[in-house]
Structure 1
């Protein structure tokens, strides 16, 4: 028995429940109706997601100008995507364009064709509230020089250019087709930041140093170039996480004069991962072989809810990833049981563990194989977190050293998070 692979669509940008701006009354004449763009702006302002200093840029670069005719809105409650085509459903398209929800614009790195959703979403327009909150967190100032990693539709770069001026914005996109689209969309609203097609891990040294770097893709390891190309005192804002889960946490790092960077996690979110840092679930097929083989067997009373399973953006899931490094984990749900799998990502290792939760039973069967006892590590990490008073995600932070070592900490950089890896 080999465990089922990981989530079919890892890295989708999910950041909470799908929320629509207030509907405009149909009792008014069309010419007296507030535009969908204005309704979205008012909704974001009222929610505190859009700050007044970004309002003018928001009007200069409307979201709809950066969307293709065919989009796939993602329903975060149902976990499904569906096609909406402006050419056949212009009203539905406009409604979705101004809804506070993520929209996929590309599947399977551009190899997908047809209106049906593809296998893996690989480029999207993020939730407007996520975009505007991140821009507020970026804390720009007049004349700030900004590098964006992950151009996507070009909307975020458009907002930056409208606020700071074209000369102060560089945006990097790995996909040539996506970059070409973004450049055209930016031009359609009179904006022309420097759109560069290359692997975003290398930044854009030709125009460094930058005052701010903003990353719109999930990161598992900070490339050295991002810190090196940011001036001392500058900020790097990025969704960061571990391969323990698909979730990210937004971290704001301040770059120091010695080439290190440190800062707190602000809040949970989820982005599509950098293409070079995606997790290949097929690599774990060789870990298990004949199941359960020579695995040791034990029992636990830990519940799925204790581990934050089945609920989006649980602090404990993020903390387990910090405390149990180099561990990938996935949940397989059957008719009457749920199996959690844990795999050692260390090169050459085949260590794994599983925990089987059967409906209606309190006893959980745990199996572990290999020199690294992954379940034991997860259990010890859970106990540590509880012993610390179950601290929230925003009490944690991250330091990236000049040689690229990532050191998570709790409350203060001098208080490192323990690693329970064997």
Structure 2
């Protein structure tokens, strides 16, 4: 596949899905003017089933082009640290969706947290104008590479090295703030540095991205989930232990047989999001065999659960550690169904100094939780 073929195929796939936002036609124009491959490094990384292996443009340009122009939902891994991806050229579908949520206009002053390869900043500068976008990147090498690509594109973007969570107070206020890495708790600096009425768009933890609007008095920001997104966490943040480390080789401490169709755990993004809200530290993975959908849950520390399909809708649940994660997940699942199976777009967030509330349907009357390391279950109704 050539680069031009890849560009055309990806653009058509976006159109077939309806992923080019009618409200923001400028985004497709910017993507056409600033194609992804101009911001991709010559070395990308691909999972071979066992580890991430390099794919060099000078060695296999066709494979490299396939990684740059994968599907609407495919990111291109641009950096691997200690065997794990640490930076990527984000998938085009999510980039476009988040830019649409930003509601960017010409002349807006924009702060981006996480320059990455520089592509997102270039797209925003195409819309906002030269000298209107500042991008903060924690990794000096990534910052230098992004700066070089942006300069080559004559984008007029300032790239600085720093802590994205601290924002960039030297140039406040901003009309728009956007993060390209996931946070669990919104840094107050982002709200403080955005003008009243300005918007903040960011990926929230392992699933979903939100758009918040800063209140007229600047003392809070509020908004709703705008779509699904899976982004890397802030550089240096702890991601916890993986399943095999948490599970270890100890025997299960609890075992029981249940009848529950596990397919929604794999197929229903709205259920997955409800679990993400109420059990933010719990990771859920699934697979399918002849007996049905199997699931594995762990909290990144010391509790785990395995749900093994036995056929006929029967599931054997094995659990270990101080928490019973399958029990917790079932309670959230049952609450979600009793509440009318709210969609992920019905969830929202209110951020105040020192406090962050996540709510469903209505910020005042809807069920809500206050972000904290551990929190009480959602109230019924």
TM-score band, normalised by shorter chain: 0.7 to 0.9
Flag the 1:102–1:353 CA change in 2: closer, same or farther, 3 A.
closer
Out of 84, 89, 101, the position equivalent to 2:60 is: 89
Please state if 1:140 is matched with 2:91.
no
TM superposition shift of 1:139: 0.4
TM superposition shift of 1:409: 1.2
More strand by share: 2
**Contact 1:211–1:231 (CA under 8 A) maintained in structure 2:** yes
**Contact 2:246–2:298 (CA under 8 A) maintained in structure 1:** no
TM superposition shift of 1:172: 1.0
Please state if 1:206 is matched with 2:170.
yes
Structure 1, unaligned runs of 5 or more: 1-22, 25-32, 112-118, 242-246
Deviations 1:78-129 (A, max 9, x none): 9996644221333444454344432111111xx6xxxxxxx21111111223
Could you tell me the TM-score, scaled by structure 1's length? 0.74
Out of 271, 276, 288, the position equivalent to 1:321 is: 276
Q: How many residues align?
A: 363
Deviations 1:266-322 (A, max 9, x none): 111211121243412169958988434xx455443234324x14x4x7221220122
RMSD between superposed Cα atoms in Å: 3.5
**Contact 2:246–2:304 (CA under 8 A) maintained in structure 1:** no
Please state if 1:357 is matched with 2:316.
no
Out of 248, 263, 278, the position equivalent to 2:207 is: 248
What is the CA–CA distance in structure 2 between the aligned matches of 1:339 and 1:353, rounded to whole Å?
11
Deviations 1:12-45 (A, max 9, x none): xxxxxxxxxxx99xxxxxxxx9776566556646
What is the CA–CA distance in structure 1 between the aligned matches of 2:77 and 2:343, rounded to whole Å?
30
Matched residue, 2:159: 195
Could you tell me the TM-score, scaled by structure 2's length? 0.82
Structure 2, unaligned runs of 5 or more: 370-375
Flag the 1:411–1:80 CA change in 2: closer, same or farther, 3 A.
farther
Structure 1 range deviating more: 96-105 or 336-345 = 336-345
Please state if 1:389 is matched with 2:357.
no
Flag the 1:107–1:291 CA change in 2: closer, same or farther, 3 A.
same
TM superposition shift of 1:160: 1.3
What is the CA–CA distance in structure 2 between the aligned matches of 1:83 and 1:284, rounded to whole Å?
25
**Contact 2:138–2:161 (CA under 8 A) maintained in structure 1:** yes
What is the CA–CA distance in structure 1 between the aligned matches of 2:228 and 2:150, rounded to whole Å?
29
